Structure 1
Amino acid sequence: MRYVKPLSLFQDLVRGNALERGRLLGLDVGDKYVGVAVSDIHNKIASPLSVLLRKKSTLDMMADDFQSLISELSLEGFIVGYPFDRQRGSPDAVQVKLFIDDLSATRKLEGLKYTYWDEGFTSKNVELLLRPLNLHPVTSKTIIDKFAAVGILQGYLDYVNRKQKSVTAEDFWKANSGLN
C-alpha cells in the first residue's frame, strides 16, 4: 500500500479511462471494528458496505476481504478516517496509523493507494442521529461504524469533486479567454 495526497489519489482516478474508472473505499477505523463504505462508479456518492472485526489475529483475513473487494468492485484506493482535529499522538490517531501499517505489512494490498481524511466527529454525528431510535446497542454500533465510514468517504468525494469542477472551470476560462 502506498500513501498519496488526497487530491493526487482522485486526480489519478480521473486521468484513467472513464469506463474503467475504479471506486474508493472509506474506512472508519476503531479499536474493535472498522466501518466500511464504498463509492459509486462515478465517485460521487458513498454508501455503507459492512463492518469488519478488527483484531491482530484477523488481519490476514481482513486483507483477504479487501483483496476480494478490490477485484469485485474495481477498487483503486482507501480513504482512511483520521482524527486531524486532535493532538498528533492521540490514541485514536495512533490506532489508525497502526492499522494501516499492519495492513500494509501483510503485503496483500501492494498496488493499492490510500490517503487520510479528517473523520470530523463522524461517529458522534451518526450516534446523535440514532439516539432517538432506541436501537439495541449492537445494532446501533454497527450502524454507527458503517455510516461514519460513509461520512468520511462522502466528505472526501464532495471535496475532490468540487476541486475538480473548479479546476475544469478555470482551465475552460483560460482556454477560451486567450490568456494561455
Structure 2
Amino acid sequence: MRFVQPLQLFHNLAKATQKERGRLIGLDVGDKYVGVALSDFDNKIASPFSVLIRKKSNIGLMASDFETLISKYSLKGFVIGIPFNNFRVSPDAVQVKVLIDALSKTKKLEGLNYTYWNECFTSQNVGLLLKPLNLNHPVHSKTILDKFAAVGILQGYLDYVNRKMRQQATQ
C-alpha cells in the first residue's frame, strides 16, 4: 500500500483507461469495527457496504477480506477517515495509522494506493440522523453507524474531488 495525496488518488483513476478504472473504498476505523463503504463505478456516489471486526489478531484475515473485495468489486484505492487536528495527534489518528501499517505489512495489498480524509464529526452526524430510527440493539445500531460513517467519509471525498476536477476542466 502506498500513501498518495487526496487529489492524486482521483487523478490516477481519471487518467486510467476505461478498462483500468475502478471504484474506491471508504473506511471508518474504530476501536472494534471498521465501517466499509464502496463508490459506484463513476466514483460519484458512496454506498454502505459492510463492517469488519477489528482485532490485532485478525489483520491477516482483514487483509484477505480486502483482497477479495478488490478483485470482486474492481477496487483501485482506499479513502481512510482520520480525525485531523492541527494542534496535536489524537489517539484516534494513531489507531488508524497503526491499522494501515499493519495491513501494509501483510503485503497482500501491494500496489494499492490510499489517502486520508478528514472524518471529524462523521460518526456524530450519522448518529444524529439515525437517532429517530430508535435502533434498540446496541451492536446492530453500532454497525449501522460505522457503515454510514464510512459513507460520510467516502462521499465527502468524492464530492470534493469531483468538484475540483470540474473546476480544473473549466480553467
Place the TM-score, normalised by the shorter chain, in its bin: over 0.9
Q: How many percent identity over aligned positions?
A: 68
Q: 1:110-140 CA deviation, whole Å, 9 max, x = no partner? A: 1110000000211111111112222121111
1:96: how far off? 0.5
The correspondence of residues 1-180 of structure 1 with structure 2, limited to 5 A, is: 1-85=1-85, 87-135=87-135, 136-170=137-171
Please, what TM-score do these two structures have when normalized by structure 1?
0.91
Partner AA of 1:156 in structure 2:
Y
C-alpha root-mean-square deviation of aligned residues, in Å? 1.1
Structure 1: segments with no counterpart, 5+ residues: 171-180
Q: C-alpha offsets along residues 51-73 of structure 1, whole Å, 9 cap, x if unaligned?
A: 00000111101100000011111
The alignment's TM-score, normalised by the length of structure 2, stands at 0.96
- State the secondary structure of the residue aligned to 1:18: coil
User: Could you tell which deviates more after superposition, 26-35 or 87-96?
Assistant: 87-96
DSSP-derived class of the 1:36 partner:
strand
Determine the C-alpha separation between the residues in 2 that align with 1:110 and 1:61: 16
Note the C-alpha offset of 1:85: 3.4
Structure 1 stretches of 4+ with a deviation exceeding 3 A read 85-88
1:178 maps to what in 2? none
**Structure 2 residues without counterparts, runs of 5 or longer:** none
Amino acid at match of 1:45: I
